[in-house]
Amino acid sequence: MVTSAGCAAKIFPYILNDALKDIKWFQDENVMVGFSGNDDAGVYKLTDELVLIQTTDFFTPVVDDPYTYGMIAATNSLSDVYAMGGKPLNALNIVAFPQKEDISILKEILAGGADKAREAKCSIIGGHSVDITNILYGLAVTGTAHPKDIKGNDTAKAGDVLILTKGLGTGVLNNSVKYGKPEKSYVDGLIDSMCRLNRSAAELMVKYNANACTDVTGFGLAGHSMQMAKASKVALHFSVKDLPVLEGAMWAIKEKQLTRGDKSNRIYTQDFVINKGTIDTEKEHLIYDPQTSGGLLISVEETKAESLLREIRDNGDGISSIVGYVTEVNEDNKSGSIVFNF
């Protein structure tokens, strides 16, 4: 019922940047996180001990089942609050639906979102809807945190270790559901990943006082790690062989189930990506694949990394892996560089 699916439907990042620049945005002295660093959510200080975290996220269906789609969209929306180190408090539904279609489909979408919000202990208190051809669903979420617990994308430190909490490959696997014939186990694993809240990993990274975090969604691992590297004025280094990968993702790549986001994310990051070693062109697609409801990329002190990883795995994110490290910039790695070691 839609022309493009999930986070692959995002406006190309370089086009979006052109639209946003040169606009005079008003921000008062209580804005702690705004547009400047391309962070996951906005942060607004209320008191010395309380901040609001605000975000909105919505997209087109990635699966045929409306209830499952609602769960995935809500999980993805809540993720931005978790990525900042916060706890979701309440949310508003964002709905676009052709009202000439069966309204029971919309009811199932909303029910899926409601159940995920309930799991997150996040109250849905209203929303807004429009009647248009393409279906959209998501949430505008408000969360809270103590100011010292905020995990932006601009505070990664040289010497940190990088942890990724979900497997890559949702873009190509979602395309394979639409255009190919994936095995049932591939689809089940894909849906399980997209419906899994990042709540536990977020709580644990706060417990271990991680330095920085971002969630990996539509701009792919390359795009979101580039944003972190640029905002933090560091270089990020990844071991491609250590990247967690969803079952079936490599099959989907071999079947050429690539999204339009693969190309746009390459363009977006082309001035900052450095590949080392013999490039595996199939695995390279994982770096640029737009993720829907992806995992957290956490930058944490090396001495804490193994303990944090162990607890993240023990609490349900078993695919989580240490995937790289952070360095200062030098003559080979300018600020914002992301180095992929094949």
Q: Which residues are catalytic?
A: 7
Q: How far apart are CA 214 and CA 205, in angstroms?
A: 12
User: What residue type is assigned to position 262 of the chain?
Assistant: D
Tokens of 275: 């590949």
**What is the signed CA dihedral for 66, 67, 68, 72, rounded to 10 degrees?**
100
Q: How far apart are CA 302 and CA 296, in angstroms?
A: 17
Q: How far apart are CA 254 and CA 175, in angstroms?
A: 13
Q: How far apart are CA 45 and CA 34, in angstroms?
A: 12
Q: How far apart are CA 83 and CA 151, in angstroms?
A: 7
DSSP line for 140-173:
EEEEEE-GGG---SS---TT-EEEE-S-B-HHHH
